Amino acid sequence: MDIPVIETERLRLRGISAEDLDDFAEMNASPDFAKYFGTGKPLSRWESWNVLTMLAGHWMVRQFGFWFVEEKETRRFVGRVGIWYPDGWPGIEIGWGISPKFWGKGYATEAARASRDWAFETLDLDDLISVIHPENEASKRVAMRIGESFRETLTVNGKRSDIYSMSRS
């Protein structure tokens, strides 16, 4: 499947490749990054490989998914941002995860806006949600910057989560 490439002023959102494993595993091994994702614990390289292949496979199953994000100028791996909808999820989600070494640069917001625009234009969606750990204030700020607002608190995949949402209009 051809995964579309999206470019913003500073970033390139592109398909996932096996060559990304080193950078992806380094990001997932960071306790600061892992704190609000999954089990809340850093991932091993093997677990990162499993997540990488799951994210790649999501494109095959749903025809949309997460992009890996890189700086256009340096081609350095920044993180993952995109649209996903795993089984049992409360809605189609826009999500982001940026490597801690790139925090504070506005990359999550920049890439999430591009992802949001692609989703509304290409997938013809009416609504998007973000599933956010209740203590993840930085992600809540990104959600609000891209136009989302708090909707409710739910249990998602066994974890208490704040749901932010937005409509195309």
Q: Which two tokens stand for residue 122?
A: 């290409």
How would DSSP label each residue in 25-85?
Answer: HHHHH-HHHHTTSTTSSPPPHHHHHHHHHHHHHHHHHHS--EEEEEETTT--EEEEEEEE-
DSSP label of 120: H
Confidence of residue 1 (pLDDT cuts 50, 70, 90): confident
Give me the mean pLDDT over the 84-105 stretch.
96
Report the length, in residues, of the chain: 169
What confidence score (pLDDT) does residue 60 get? 96
Q: What is the pLDDT of residue 38?
A: 81
pLDDT at 17: 93
CA distances from 80 to 13, 16, 76, 112, 115 (A): 8, 9, 12, 10, 11
pTM above 0.85, yes or no: yes
pLDDT range class, residue 92, cuts 50, 70, 90:
very high
Residues 30, 127: Cα–Cα separation, whole Å: 32
pLDDT of amino acid 28: 97
Beta carbons of 66 and 81 less than 8 angstroms apart: yes
Q: Is-contact 17 52, C-beta < 8 A? A: no
pLDDT digits 0-9 by tens, 107-143? 999 999 999 999 999 999 999 999 999 999 999 999 9
Cβ neighbours around 30 below 10 Å, total: 14
Rg (C-alpha) for the chain, rounded Å, is: 15
Nearest to 1 by CA among 58, 77, 79: 58
Domain 6-126 in CATH: superfamily? Gcn5-related N-acetyltransferase (GNAT) (3.40.630.30)
Domain ranges for the chain, please list them: 6-126
